[in-house]
C-alpha cells in the first residue's frame, strides 16, 4: 500500500549570542521505541510522569550550549493510524502515520530533559519547522481533505510561486499539484516543485499545536525533518497570529460588560 506524505522539516540556523537569542537546530534521531502519540510514556525518566506521546531524547543539536532538551509529540484528541509501526524516527526525523480521512490535533512539546517542564533557556529562542509535501493525496479530490492548520503563533514562509493555498491565515492545503515527489531521508536540497509544496514555520515557543486532516484511504505519513532544507527560490514571510487563552477571556469579558451596560441602559 502506498502512502502520501506530509513532511515537517526542522531546519537550523547559527546559534546567536545567548544574551540576544538562540536559534535551535532539532535532531530527532533518539526515538524511544514503542512510544505512541496517544499512550503514556513509560520509558526512562518519563515513567510515572503521566505524559502521553512519542518521546525523542536529546534533540538539541546546536554547537555552543549545554541545554538538554527532549521532544514529545502527542495527540490531543482522537488519533487513529493505518500502521503504528511507521511511528518512529526516520533518520533524524519524526515519522508519524495518520489514518486517511481523519482529523487529529497534535502538540509538539520541547521539555527540559527528563521532565515535563517546558524548555525555557531564559533568553528568546527560535527554531524552524519546515512543512514539506503538502499535496493532494488523491488527484481530483477536494483539496481541503488534506490540510495543515497551525494553532500557535508563528511566522510562515512560502515561495513566491507556491502551489499552497492559505485559508484564514493559518490553514494550508495544496489542490493543484497532485502528488509531489517525496523527499529522501538525508536530502540536503528540494526541487522547485517540492519547495512550492512546502511551508517553513519559524517558532519562538516550546509548545506547538497543529491539526492535520488527511484525505483518501489507507494512511498518511507525517515527517518532522531536521535536514536544514531551505528555499532557494524567492519567498515571502507572513505572521500567524493566534489569540492566547487570556486574550479570548479578555474579549469574552469585554463583550459581557458591554451586554450588561446595554441591558442597564434599556432598563432606565
Q: Is 85 helix (H, G, I), strand (E, B) or coil?
A: helix
Structural domain count, the chain? 1
Q: What is the phi/psi pair of residue 257, to 5°?
A: -60, -45
The whole-number pLDDT of residue 248 equals 42
Kindly state whether residue 223 falls inside one of the protein's structural domains: yes
Kindly state whether residue 96 falls inside one of the protein's structural domains: yes
Q: What is the CATH number of the domain that holds 53?
A: 2.60.530
Q: Which residues of 233-263 are buried (b: 16+ CB within 10 A; e: fewer)?
A: eebeeeebeeeeeeeeeeeeeeeeeeeeeee
Kindly state whether residue 28 falls inside one of the protein's structural domains: yes
Q: Where are the beta strands (DSSP E) in 3-146?
A: 4-9, 22-24, 54-56, 69-75, 88-90, 93-99, 103-112, 125-132
Q: Which of 108, 36, 116 is nearest to 72 (CA)?
A: 108
Please state, in angstroms and rounded to a whole number, the distance separating the CA atoms of residues 136 and 142: 8
**Residue 50 neighbours by CB under 8 Å, 6+ apart:** 40, 116
The whole-number pLDDT of residue 138 equals 54
Residue 239: half-sphere exposure toward Cβ, Cα within 13 Å: 5
Bridge partners for 127 per DSSP: 24, 203
The whole-number pLDDT of residue 224 equals 79
Alpha helices for 168-244 (secondary structure H): 192-196
Kindly state whether residue 29 falls inside one of the protein's structural domains: yes
> Terminus-to-terminus CA distance in the chain, angstroms?
71
Kindly state whether residue 260 falls inside one of the protein's structural domains: no
How far apart, in Å, are the Cα atoms of 51 and each of 102, 111, 113, 121, 186? 24, 11, 13, 22, 30
Inter-residue contact 27 to 151 (CB < 8 Å): no
The DSSP secondary-structure symbol of 84 reads G
Centroid of chain to Cα 147: 12
Kindly state whether residue 267 falls inside one of the protein's structural domains: no
Kindly state whether residue 264 falls inside one of the protein's structural domains: no
Domain that includes residue 80, residue range: 4-243
The whole-number pLDDT of residue 149 equals 95
Kindly state whether residue 248 falls inside one of the protein's structural domains: no
Along the 268 residues of the chain, how does pLDDT read in single tens digits? 444 444 454 444 333 344 457 888 888 889 999 999 999 999 999 999 999 999 999 998 755 557 899 999 999 999 999 999 999 998 888 889 999 889 999 999 999 999 999 999 888 999 888 888 887 765 444 444 678 999 999 999 999 999 999 999 999 988 775 778 888 877 778 899 989 988 999 999 999 999 999 887 778 888 777 666 789 999 999 999 886 555 545 544 544 554 444 445 444 5
Inter-residue contact 131 to 200 (CB < 8 Å): yes
Amino acid at each position: 500500500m502506498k502512502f502520501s506524505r506530509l513532511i515537517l522539516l526542522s531546519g537550523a540556523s547559527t546559534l546567536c549570542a545567548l544574551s540576544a537569542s538562540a536559534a535551535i537546530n532539532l535532531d530527532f534521531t533518539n526515538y524511544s521505541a514503542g512510544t505512541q502519540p496517544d499512550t503514556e510514556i513509560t520509558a526512562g525518566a518519563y515513567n510515572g510522569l503521566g505524559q502521553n506521546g512519542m518521546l525523542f531524547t536529546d534533540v538539541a543539536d546546536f554547537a555552543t550550549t549545554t541545554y538538554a532538551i527532549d521532544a514529545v509529540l502527542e495527540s490531543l484528541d482522537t488519533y487513529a493510524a493505518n500502521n503504528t509501526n511507521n511511528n518512529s524516527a526516520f533518520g533524524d526525523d519524526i515519522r508519524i502515520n495518520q489514518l486517511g480521512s481523519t482529523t487529529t490535533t497534535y502538540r509538539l512539546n520541547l521539555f527540559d530533559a527528563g521532565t515535563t517542564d517546558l524548555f525555557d533557556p531564559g533568553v528568546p529562542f527560535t527554531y524552524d519547522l519546515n512543512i514539506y509535501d503538502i499535496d493532494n493525496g488523491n488527484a481530483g479530490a477536494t483539496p481541503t481533505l488534506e490540510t495543515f492548520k497551525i494553532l500557535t503563533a508563528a511566522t510562515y514562509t512560502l515561495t513566491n510561486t507556491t502551489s499552497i493555498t492559505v485559508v484564514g491565515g493559518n490553514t494550508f492545503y495544496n489542490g493543484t499539484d497532485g502528488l509531489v515527489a517525496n523527499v529522501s531521508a538525508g536530502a540536503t536540497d528540494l526541487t522547485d516543485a517540492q519547495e512550492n509544496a512546502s511551508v517553513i514555520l519559524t517558532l519562538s515557543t516550546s509548545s506547538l499545536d497543529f491539526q492535520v486532516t488527511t484525505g483518501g484511504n489507507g494512511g498518511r505519513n507525517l515527517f518532522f525533518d531536521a535536514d536544514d532544507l531551505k528555499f532557494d527560490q524567492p519567498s515571502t514571510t507572513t505572521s500567524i497570529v493566534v489569540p492566547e487563552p487570556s486574550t479570548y477571556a479578555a474579549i469574552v469579558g469585554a463583550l459581557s460588560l458591554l451586554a450588561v451596560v446595554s441591558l442597564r441602559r434599556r432598563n432606565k
